[in-house]
Amino acid sequence: MLAPSAILTSVAILGGVGLTFGSLIALAHARFRVYEDPRVDTLTDLLPGANCGACGYAGCRAFAEAAVGGVVAPAGCTVMGEFEREDFAEVLGVDAGEASRRVARLLCAGGSDVAPRKASYVGIRSCAAAVAVGGGGKACAWGCVGFADCAVVCDFDAIQMSVTDLPIVDPEKCTACNDCVEACPLDLFTLLPQDAPLLVQCRSLLEGDAAEGVCSVACTACGRCAQDAPPGLIHMEPGLAVVDYEQIDIANPKAVDRCPTGAIVWIEDRQFPTLAPSADQEVMV
């Protein structure tokens, strides 16, 4: 049996070791502690929480940290509503600024009703796979394949396929995350300010009858839109009209009036407002 003095000695030694290591841990914590501004949590709660990456940061918390550090302005998040942005700016003590909300726009209107196929495609139902083996049988080599790769990658349920196999983007759900832009093998998606109303819904480089022969709503490069638009807003490239979005504030609907195919359109809200979503969404995506 151990003597009482031996027990007390052991307890004292263990206590001393524990106190020593505890002190070292406390000192290390104090020395290497990473300070985080409490405003980061407050700002993160004001953000949408979509973690879409449209701002260029890994997620909403990363954006909040950058805002606290003065690296980015509140307007850097284009998904935030106006009131949330003002609250965000108030926490930081800065001006809210102006944010032009961006949405994904499709540079093609050639659905199955207006752009015929030259062959039947048999294979994996994927735009990327179809393009890799000749475009999925579509007569227009620049046209939307319609196999919904964009809808599959959209984490926000902002894209539905239409009855004519064109993707319909819901501007209210779109976060401009860029996933659909990267997923489209034909580069048919682009991110534009939601209030930019003028859009050329075509990427075909064919001209005249050759363009219209493979799609009845193709740009024929007639140049009428460039003639009717304010000077400098639209210029012609080989086979295609191109809008200068740096000058979009001078746009007016007159630019679309004489387009013989309707390839250039004036958008008030979403594209293809008369198209109905396909009832077979689960199969499509």
pLDDT, position 283: 41
CA-to-CA dists, residue 8 to 12, 13, 15, angstroms: 6, 9, 10
Per the model's pLDDT, the better-predicted residue between 51 and 281 turns out to be 51
CA angle 211, 118, 275 (to 5 degrees): 70
pLDDT tens-digit series, residues 248-274: 999 999 999 999 999 999 998 899 998
Verify that 185 and 205 share a domain, yes or no: no
Regarding whether 241 and 132 lie in a shared domain, the answer is no
When divided into structural domains, the chain yields a total of 3
Q: What domain range includes position 43?
A: 39-92
**Percent of the chain with pLDDT strictly greater than 90:** 60
Strand-pair partners of 234? 243
Residue 22: per-residue pLDDT:
77
In 3D space, the residue among 109, 107, 158, 112 whose CA is nearest the CA of residue 281 turns out to be 158
Same domain, 65 and 163: no
Query: What's the rounded mean pLDDT across residues 117-135?
Result: 89
pLDDT at 34: 62
pTM for the model: 0.77
Same-domain check for residues 282 and 258: no
In the predicted model, what is the mean pLDDT of the chain? Answer: 88
